[in-house]
Structure 1
Amino acid sequence: MTATAKPTHLEGGTELDAFVDDHDVALVECYTRGCSKCQAMEPVLGNVARATGIPIGLVNPGDDIELLERLEISSVPTLLLYEDGTEIARRAEGFIGGDVVVDFLEEHVPAAVDHA
């Protein structure tokens, strides 16, 4: 499993589906433009990607009502954790720190977290 140091920006549902399908485990942040908490999460998620080796994607479902409904997003930022293409967990609590995100990953996909 190869992760980049920076989260991958995904344009819509098709790119989201491809990203999730390309990785055994993937974390996706749903955000909207103008959301300061969402913007603050991006560098945190970059650090998490480097620390854990888990690929992280960022998608803005705000412009895509079908995607918004499909993902059942009611607030942002929302973190969606996927394993083998299926959502297995989510967090929608606003801004959270890197340690909390890592704990979330270790709780749900401990074998996938690379403590390099």
Structure 2
Amino acid sequence: MSSSTEKRKPIRAADGAELREVLEAHDRVLVEFYTKGCAMCQAIEPVLGNVARQTGITVVMVNPGDDVELVDEWSIRSAPTLVLVEDGEEVARLAEGFQGGDAIEAFLDEHAN
């Protein structure tokens, strides 16, 4: 893995199995649960790319509509939902619609170990 964060961008997981692979490979991951056609989800995507580059955190995006078991497994009730996972465990959740980069970075700082 490169130490440079310049080219960091969100990883797209196709389903729950790919999401688990990302969570197992990284200690700290910000997961975005999005839905196709969601304007707020589309708007937040470049913001998440900037957050990944600025903070060095791994960001993974997954559409629970492509793997409906994720809806119950992660208790997804709205999109976009951001979930901070550390060592495989959910530590915080942000499900308040579109968030700017400063708000997401503050959320990460607030819940950092």
Q: Give TM-score scaled by structure 1 length.
A: 0.90
Unaligned segments of structure 1, at least 5 residues: 111-116
The corresponding residue for 1:97 is 100
The corresponding residue for 2:37 is 34
Unaligned segments of structure 2, at least 5 residues: none
Provide, for residues 37-95 of structure 1, a one-character-per-residue CA deviation record: whole Å limited to 9, x for no partner: 00011100000001000000000001322111111000000001000011111010000
Once the two structures are TM-superposed, the CA of residue 98 in structure 1 deviates from its matched residue by 0.2
CA RMSD of aligned residues (A): 1.4
Matched positions, count: 110
The corresponding residue for 2:65 is 62
The corresponding residue for 1:11 is 14
Once the two structures are TM-superposed, the CA of residue 6 in structure 1 deviates from its matched residue by 1.1
- Alignment-mate amino acid for residue 84 of structure 1: D
- Alignment map for 1:37-116 (pairs within 5 Å): 37-109=40-112
Q: Which runs of 4+ in 1 moved over 6 A?
A: none
- Alignment-mate amino acid for residue 107 of structure 1: E
Q: Provide the rounded CA distance (Å) in 2 between the counterparts of 1:9 and 1:64.
A: 13
Which SS does the other structure have where 1:68 is aligned? helix
Once the two structures are TM-superposed, the CA of residue 109 in structure 1 deviates from its matched residue by 1.1
- Alignment-mate amino acid for residue 20 of structure 2: D
Q: Provide the rounded CA distance (Å) in 2 between the counterparts of 1:23 and 1:69.
A: 23
Higher helix share: 1
